[in-house]
Amino acid sequence: MKLTVELGDRSYPILIQPHALQDVAVWDDCVAHAEVVVVTNDVVAPLYLDALKAGLARPGRRLLTLVLPDGEAHKNQSTLTLIYDFLLENNLSRKAVLVALGGGVVGDMTGFAAATYQRGIDFIQVPTTLLSQVDSSVGGKTGINHPLGKNMIGAFKQPVAVIIDSTVLCTLPARELSAGLAEVIKYGLIGDADFFEWLEQGMPALLANDATAVSEAVYRSCESKARIVAADEMEQGVRATLNLGHTFGHAIEAEMGYGAWLHGEAVGAGMAMACAMSQRLGWISDDVVTRALTLITQAGLPVEVPSKMTPSAFLKHMARDKKVESGQLRLVLLTDLGKAVVTGDFSPDVLEQTLQEACARVA
């Protein structure tokens, strides 16, 4: 299966294929570089690095590997510097290409390094988690976390290709699979009610990691993401709806410490809060909320916030959200199943009530 992110002369393919990692033809189509650096982590490397190297190796090609520590806790300036150090110590030129083999952390940091090393070199996304396959690998958002906010330091840098090997999810832990399903559910909630209904029927197969069901979910998610990115690459409008639940979720991640809750887990709770606030505003029905919370729960995701969270903790972190404009917080909320808006048109009291209710349930 193949999709294209339509961005004019910067358009690029998304290839979804079994055993793509070691497929020489796949790599001949997207890599003509004489210098290739694979950036991965110490969890993924033992599983898939050799297969990828077999696909990339060519006579005369310089093929190097950098293995980073795994986890959201390492998505920071110190780890980014490790990438720069490796590139500089090995005298990599501006014609090199970085290949990000891993989940969203590896992809985001490798992309940011590619955006900034010698003012920009090529990179390719090879996502190995469901979350990165359906979301972070597509669209060119790259960056690192700061202690005061998630993904607050970064750049837009589109890859030259996204290569999704549909067989790699067979080794994905159940918790990581559920975390990825948060972003899949998001696409149904914000723009595709038919897909949401498909997920309601298909969730048991997805949780069982059924290859056919998962490939369909990845394809439909990437299709939605590619369409939105093509319409709004720099997130000036519709692309911001992809952040449903993320403003609440990022606050949870920052307050709990990066990695304590997986990104998808925080987004699951955040989407539940966005639904509750949308309902409080009278924008969506009880039925929509019930269906959304049921599906999030079925996916193995939390709909309650951590007991450590307080309204003031939420507000502290949300004040630094990238959707804040002129001091006004804007949120992604629902107006119906499959319809979302980015808005600051709500009373602060409604937000306060939403936060109070969410925190009171777990106090």
Question: What's the number of domains the chain is made of?
Answer: 2
Q: Which domain holds residue 346?
A: 174-360
**Domain identity same for 228 and 335:** yes
Q: Under a CB-based contact definition with an 8 Å cutoff, are residues 178 and 328 in contact?
A: no
The set of catalytic residues is 119, 141, 183, 225, 235, 239, 243, 246, 250, 263
**Domain identity same for 137 and 193:** no
**Domain identity same for 150 and 267:** no
**Domain identity same for 223 and 158:** no
**What does each of the 363 residues of the chain score in pLDDT, given as a tens digit?**
899 999 999 999 999 999 999 999 999 989 889 999 999 999 999 999 999 999 999 999 999 999 999 988 899 999 999 999 999 999 999 999 999 999 999 999 999 999 999 999 999 999 999 999 999 899 899 999 998 888 889 999 999 999 999 999 999 999 999 999 999 999 999 999 999 999 999 999 999 999 999 999 999 999 999 999 999 998 888 999 999 999 999 999 999 998 899 999 999 999 999 999 999 999 999 999 999 999 999 999 999 999 999 999 999 999 887 777 767 899 999 999 999 999 998 999 999 999 999 998 876
Three-state secondary structure call for residue 39: strand
10 Å Cβ neighbour count for 146?
15
Residue ending a domain, choose from 133, 151, 171: 171
d(CA 141, CA 106): 12
**Domain identity same for 183 and 232:** yes
**Domain identity same for 48 and 197:** no
pTM: 0.90
Q: Under a CB-based contact definition with an 8 Å cutoff, are residues 182 and 268 in contact?
A: yes
Residue ending a domain, choose from 137, 156, 171: 171
**Domain identity same for 136 and 195:** no
**Domain identity same for 103 and 220:** no
Q: What is the CATH number of the domain that holds 289?
A: 1.20.1090.10
In 53-109, where do the E strands start and end? 62-68, 97-102
What DSSP character marks residue 308?
T
**Domain identity same for 166 and 183:** no
Chain centroid to CA 95: 27
In the chain, where do the E strands start and end? 2-5, 12-17, 35-41, 62-68, 97-102, 122-127, 141-146, 149-156, 161-165, 331-336, 339-343
Per-residue CA distances from 277 to 39, 97, 187, 351, 360 (Å) = 40, 44, 19, 7, 15
Unique residue bearing structure tokens 């048991």: 204
**Domain identity same for 94 and 178:** no
**Domain identity same for 110 and 204:** no
**Domain identity same for 167 and 178:** no
Structure tokens at 114: 């590619």
Residue ending a domain, choose from 121, 142, 171: 171
d(CA 102, CA 48): 9
Q: What is the CATH number of the domain that holds 61?
A: 3.40.50.1970
